Amino acid sequence: MSALFSPIKLRGLTLKNRLVVSPMCQYSADDGVATDWHFAHINNLALSGAAMFCIEATHVEAIGRITAGCLGLYSDACEAALKQIMNSVRKHSSTAIAMQLAHAGRKGSSARPWDGGQLIPVSEGGWQTVAPSAVPHKEGEAAPLALDASGLKRIREAFVDSARRAMRIGIDAIELHGAHGYLMHQFLSPISNRRTDEYGGSLQNRMRFPLEVFDAVRAVVPHDKPVGMRVSSTDWVEGGWDLPQTIEFVKALKARGADWIDASSGGVSPLQKITLGPGYQVQFADAIKRETGLPTVAVGLITEAKHAEDIVASGKADMVALARAMLYDPRWGWHAAAELGGEVEAPPQYWRSQPSTQKQLFGKTTFGAR
C-alpha cells in the first residue's frame, strides 16, 4: 500500500490520504470578502485528490491583511461569502477543508506580488501596520507601531472571533500562521522582536504571545476538531530564529494540544540566504517530528509523486503539502495515485476520465451508459 495514500487521524478528523493542498494567497478579495475567483479556485482544488485543502491565509482584522486583496474573516460579509463557497464545496467534494488564520503584522499594507509587493505608505493609500516592535521589515520602510497591551488583547480576541466564524461556516480544522515573517513569527524572532517587557527578550517571553493566541483559539474550537500551526523553522539569518528554538516552541504547543506542525521557513528578513532545491525544508519536518513526536507536514518544492511517497514512507513527515504544483496540475493527487497505486475520490461525472490501466483509481471498475 502507498504510504502517501494511507489514512491519518487528527482528533475526530480522519483523512483518507496524507496529501494536503497548502494555503496559497490569491490576493483577489474585496475588502477581505471572497469573490468569484475564490469560488472557482477552492471548488477546483477541492477535487485535486488531496484529503485536505487549506484555505489561504485568512486575516483576522483589516489591518492584518498582507495586501488590500487578501482574504479576511473579520466581518459578517466575509463570513457570508465563505459560507456560500463552503456550501458549494460540500455538494461535490468530501475533502476536509481547513483554514489558515493569520495576521501580517509589519508585512501588511503591501502591494500585490504582481504589482511589486512592496510596502504601500499611508500617504499612498496604505495603512499603519503593527508589530512587536517599531522595527521595519526592510531598511527605508516606514516603521510599524509597537503593540501595547490593548493592541495585543484586540488581536487575540480577533483570532478568537475569526475561529468562531470559521466553525460557524463548517471549517474542519484550523491552522494558525506562525511563519513567513508575519505577526506571530515576528514575536518569535529576535530579529523583529526587540521588546523589553514580558513579550520580548528570552525565548520564553518571545513565545508568550503566539502561545496565548493558540490557547485562545484552541479554547473555542470544538475538542474533536484539530488545530495546528505553520512555523518558520529558521530565519536563515545568523542570530535569528532557528531550529532549536522552533523545537522548544513546538514542545510548548504540543503540551497545549496542538495537532500538527506545518514546517516551513524564512520570511522575517530580506537578508535571508536560502539554498533552494526539491524538498529543501523536509529536514525541518523530520527534526521536529523526531524531537517532539508531534505530527508534521513537509512543504517546499515537492513536485514529484515518488518524492512525496518517500517522505511519508521514510517517516520524515506524516503529511505532504503542495502549493505551486497543485496550481500547475489541479489533479496532481489523481496522477500521484495512479502512479503509486493509490485511490482517490472524485465526482461520478469524472469517473470515465481514469486511464484504462488504472481500474481502481477511483475505486470503481465499471461504468454503464447506453
Percent of the chain with pLDDT over 70: 97
The mean per-residue pLDDT over the stretch 313-337 comes to 97
- Categorize the per-residue pLDDT at 38 as very low, low, confident or very high, splitting at 50, 70 and 90: very high
Rounded distance, CA 317 to CA 314, Å?
8
Helix, strand, coil shares of the chain as percentages rounded to 5?
A: 35, 15, 50
What average pLDDT is seen over the chain?
Answer: 95
Rounded distance, CA 356 to CA 94, Å?
25
Q: What is the pLDDT of residue 355?
A: 76
Q: What is the pLDDT of residue 43?
A: 98
Q: Grid coordinates standing for 264?
A: 516551513
- Categorize the per-residue pLDDT at 354 as very low, low, confident or very high, splitting at 50, 70 and 90: confident
- Categorize the per-residue pLDDT at 188 as very low, low, confident or very high, splitting at 50, 70 and 90: very high
The mean per-residue pLDDT over the stretch 124-128 comes to 97
Rounded distance, CA 138 to CA 121, Å?
13
Give pLDDT tens digits for 222-268: 999 999 999 999 999 999 999 999 999 999 999 999 999 999 999 99
Rounded distance, CA 106 to CA 147, Å?
11
The mean per-residue pLDDT over the stretch 124-130 comes to 97
Rounded distance, CA 21 to CA 55, Å?
9
Residue 344 pLDDT exceeds 60: yes
Domains in the chain, ordered, with CATH?
Answer: 8-353 (3.20.20.70)
Q: What is the pLDDT of residue 358?
A: 65
Residue 197 pLDDT exceeds 90: yes
Residue 164 pLDDT exceeds 50: yes
The mean per-residue pLDDT over the stretch 209-224 comes to 98
Percent of the chain with pLDDT over 90: 93
The residues near 209 (Cβ < 8 Å, ≥ 6 apart) are: 132, 152, 184, 187, 199
Q: What is the pLDDT of residue 364?
A: 57
The active-site residue out of 27, 74, 182, 199 is 182
* In contact, 91 and 349? CB cutoff 8 Å: no
> Strands 96-102 and 52-59, how do they pair?
parallel
The mean per-residue pLDDT over the stretch 25-54 comes to 98
- In our burial notation (b when 16+ CB lie closer than 10 A, e otherwise), range 131-156 reads bbbebbbeeeebebebbeeeebeebb
Residue 366 pLDDT exceeds 70: no
DSSP 268: S
The terminus-to-terminus CA distance of the chain in angstroms comes to 35
Residue length, the chain? 370
- Categorize the per-residue pLDDT at 353 as very low, low, confident or very high, splitting at 50, 70 and 90: confident
Residue 182 is among the residues annotated as catalytic for this protein: yes
Give pLDDT tens digits for 94-103: 999 999 999 9
Q: What is the pLDDT of residue 368?
A: 44
- Categorize the per-residue pLDDT at 1 as very low, low, confident or very high, splitting at 50, 70 and 90: confident
* In contact, 321 and 8? CB cutoff 8 Å: no
